[in-house]
Amino acid sequence: MGQSKRGVKNKKPRPTSATRARPVCELCAQTGGEILWRDKRCRVVLVAEPDYAGFCRVIWNDHVREMTDLSAADQRHCMRVVLAVEQALRGVLKPHKINLASLGNMTPHVHWHVIPRTTRDAHFPNPVWGKKLRAGQRGAATRLRERLAAELLNLL
């Protein structure tokens, strides 16, 4: 046969886009938190962040990488929901500031973080992903989930 010892036959085929296992997207596989509101296009979840009562995410239901992958109407819908969450959090928690963030570096599936901040929270004035400066404030507002869900129903 004349094949050398280093013949191609013994090489494992390189993974191609067709054979490489796609990593499971966390936001496709799971709700991502406790559902406060949802429709066909997106959902609002309350995230279990011990230092941040009221930390919410707006998650687009379809696996879409960037906001500009959405149609203009869907972009408007997404932002309308993000702003409703901001409004609901302001009404219920009276935070010092709301932080809005869309990163998706770890999970490239469109989602917005809507984070109520106080001047004494664990990271203030740093972003919540920055250096922690003090112990976080534990203990959520009473019936936080129900109150936020009711506000969202009102606003959306």
Interface with Zn ion (CB under 5 A): 25, 27-28, 63, 109
Q: Which is nearer to Zn ion, 28 or 133 (CB)?
A: 28
| Minimum distance from residue 34 beta carbon to Zn ion (Å) | 19
Q: What angle do CA 130, 135, 137 make, to 5 degrees?
A: 100
| Minimum distance from residue 11 beta carbon to Zn ion (Å) | 33
- Chain centre distance of CA 101: 9
| Minimum distance from residue 63 beta carbon to Zn ion (Å) | 3
Q: Which is nearer to Zn ion, 68 or 142 (CB)?
A: 68
Residues composing the chain = 156
- Using CB atoms, what's the residue nearest to Zn ion? 25
User: Can you tell me the distance from the alpha carbon of 153 to that of 136, in angstroms, rounded to the nearest whole number?
Assistant: 30
| Three-class secondary structure of residue 124 per DSSP | coil
User: Can you tell me the distance from the alpha carbon of 85 to that of 126, in angstroms, rounded to the nearest whole number?
Assistant: 22
Q: Which is nearer to Zn ion, 57 or 117 (CB)?
A: 57
